[in-house]
Amino acid sequence: MPPRGVSREEKRKRPKREGDPRRAGLRPPRVLRQDKLTRRLLVFPQRRGCYSKLAKLEAEEETLDVKLTAAREGVASARAQREDTAERRALLAQLEAAQAESAKLQEQVKAAGDGDPAAYARKRAAVDVAKTAAVRWTGELCNSDSKLTADNTVAIMGYCKSMGTDEAELRQFLEIGRLP
């Protein structure tokens, strides 16, 4: 059977490690202080990360400030070099007139949208769907075709109270006449 482990001779020839915890007492105090500082930095890595992120963001802010000032200077120089001719003034006046006309047309389109037949038909269809759903949910109690009896009247008033609505509003919405 082969011998297990490392022989004494191999142990003597192997170089000794400085960071061996068994030999911590034999290290000089300067190395021990450095080791303690390293351990503290390893215990609080988030501080180091925060400082590096802060430095990176500050550097990015400086570069963006430089770019911003350069862009502002470029715009200012372009405005200074721009010639104020009669043709340019006429084109600017034409642009303002076109923008004003566009605003007026947008208002007209918005006002005409309220009287749009297609939109009105969609709203009417939505009201019909709501009425059909109300008839389905109330079990034909609120249908204008059905006969309203005293029992139906009590049921309708119960629905109104449970939903927190006024009975008159519900009758008006569902187009139901006076209750008997």
pLDDT in tens, 143-160: 555 555 555 666 666 666
Sequence spans of domains, the chain:
117-140+148-174
The model's pTM is 0.28
Residue 116 has pLDDT above 60, yes or no: yes
More confident residue, 65 or 121: 65
Sign of the dihedral through C-alpha 111, 113, 114, 117: positive
Q: Average pLDDT over the chain, rounded to whole? A: 74
The pLDDT score that the predictor gives to residue 134 is: 72
Is the pLDDT confidence value at 103 over 70?
yes
Asked if the model's pLDDT at residue 180 lies above 70, the reply is: no
Q: Are 174 and 134 in contact (CB under 8 A)?
A: yes
What pLDDT, on the 0 to 100 scale, is given for residue 105?
93
The model's pLDDT over 125-137, given as tens digits with 9 standing for 90+, comes to: 887 777 777 767 7
The dihedral formed by the CA atoms of 129, 132, 133 and 134, expressed in degrees to the nearest 10: 120
Is the per-residue pLDDT at 101 higher than 90? Answer: yes
Write out the two tokens for 179. 């209750």
Give me the pLDDT at residue 131, please.
74
Q: Give the H/E segment covering residue 69.
A: helix 45-81
